[in-house]
């Protein structure tokens, strides 16, 4: 199934607290697009349904959506880094 990218990824460039970082392990992505199905505004996909490369910074108000998307990945291609905690 091919999914299209929303073209937008949440980023917080001010460097202040309250930011969750999602580490993208693109080599593990198999194109299931479950992360995108949960949170399309956070997880961008290429034309073949694979996650776009590069880590994602997520502000407080979108943490729950980002967490749901990351946890839905059957390949564990998304690692959550949140205030000293790491979760796969």
Classify the phi-psi angles of 50: left when phi > 0, otherwise alpha if psi is within -120 to 50, otherwise beta: beta
For the chain, which residues make up each domain, given as ranges? 19-87
pTM score: 0.75
19-87 topology per CATH: Alpha-Beta Plaits (3.30.70)
Q: pLDDT at residue 40 above 60?
A: yes
Mean pLDDT in residue range 44-66: 95
CA pair distance 62, 56, nearest whole angstrom: 12
**Given this model, what pLDDT does residue 18 score?**
64
- pLDDT of 23 strictly over 80: yes
């Amino acid at each position: 199934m091919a999914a299209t990218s929303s073209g937008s990824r949440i980023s917080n460039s001010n460097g202040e607290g309250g930011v969750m970082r999602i580490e993208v392990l693109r080599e593990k992505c198999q194109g299931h697009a479950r992360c995108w199905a949960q949170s399309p505004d956070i997880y961008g996909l290429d034309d073949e349904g694979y996650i776009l490369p590069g880590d994602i910074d997520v502000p407080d108000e979108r943490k729950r959506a980002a967490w749901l998307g990351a946890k839905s990945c059957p390949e564990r291609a998304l690692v959550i880094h949140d205030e000293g905690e790491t979760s796969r």
